[in-house]
């Protein structure tokens, strides 16, 4: 798929389950600051295989696309990024979410992955709008999205349960301004 000098993204497949498990296990304490609580089974090989299989099925249905973020140099899985809750009709939109191995933060990889996922959403899926929600106490993630072209729209109060607590989220979005398709009636 899309490549740069630093990272590339591609849809995850079952052969990535071990690498995804390693990523989740090594970053468990870091990721839990920004994600919902996970069942113990999530942190097993079977749990990751089931996660990937479910996501492949959802991609076939056109409602979710789960990508791995890979290092160009090592081909190693260093994160994941997803386009979720894809809605068609008059909305043509989705949500984007991502995480990156803590060791690789601050290198521009997440911004590049977001740009690549947005390109996929607009050019391949034909979406008009991609939204993101970020806790205001996570300014680094907000900066990633802004550098990728997203704009702030407002705060959704107590929007998502993160690590067992309802958290506010800054809503950001990017619009496909080259989308000239007529509205679906």
Kindly report, residue by residue over 15-64, the tens digit of the pLDDT: 999 999 999 999 999 998 888 889 999 999 999 999 999 999 999 999 99
Residue 71 in any domain: the answer is yes
Query: Higher model confidence: residue 136 or residue 164?
Result: 136
Residue 170 in any domain: the answer is yes
The answer, yes or no, to whether residue 181 has pLDDT greater than 80, is no
* The pLDDT value given to residue 1: 52
Positive or negative torsion for Cα 2, 110, 83, 18: positive
* The pLDDT value given to residue 34: 84
Q: What is the pLDDT of residues 95-131, one digit of tens each?
A: 999 999 999 999 999 999 999 999 999 999 999 999 9
Residue 13 in any domain: the answer is yes
Residue 116 in any domain: the answer is yes
Main-chain dihedrals φ then ψ at residue 56, nearest 5 degrees: -65, -40
Report yes or no on whether pTM surpasses 0.85: yes
Structure tokens at 86: 């894809």
Residue 181 in any domain: the answer is no
* Mean pLDDT (the chain, rounded): 92
Nearest-Å Rg of the Cα atoms of the chain is 16
Please report, for the domain that includes residue 92, its CATH number.
3.40.630.30
Residue 106 in any domain: the answer is yes
Residue 2 in any domain: the answer is no
Residue 88 makes CB contacts below 8 A (sequence gap 6+) with 62, 184
Give the domain range for residue 20. 7-175
Domain count for the chain: 1
Return the beta strands (E) in 26-150 as ranges: 65-71, 77-87, 93-100, 129-134
């Amino acid at each position: 798929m899309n490549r740069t000098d630093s990272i590339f993204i591609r849809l995850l497949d079952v052969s990535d389950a071990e690498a995804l498990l390693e990523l989740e296990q090594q970053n468990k304490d870091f990721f839990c600051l920004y994600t919902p609580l996970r069942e113990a089974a999530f942190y097993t090989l079977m749990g990751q295989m089931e996660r990937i299989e479910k996501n492949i099925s959802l991609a076939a249905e056109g409602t979710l696309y789960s990508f791995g973020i890979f290092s160009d140099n090592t081909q190693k899985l260093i994160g994941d990024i997803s386009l979720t809750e894809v809605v068609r009709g008059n909305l043509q939109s989705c949500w984007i979410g991502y995480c990156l191995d803590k060791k690789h933060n601050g290198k521009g990889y997440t911004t590049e992955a977001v740009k690549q996922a947005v390109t996929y959403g607009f050019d391949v899926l034909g979406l008009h709008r991609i939204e993101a929600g970020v806790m205001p106490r996570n300014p680094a993630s907000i900066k990633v999205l802004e550098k990728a072209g997203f704009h702030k729209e407002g705060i959704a109060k107590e929007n998502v349960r993160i690590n067992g607590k309802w958290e506010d989220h800054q809503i950001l979005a990017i619009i496909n301004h080259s989308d000239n398709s007529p509205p679906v009636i």
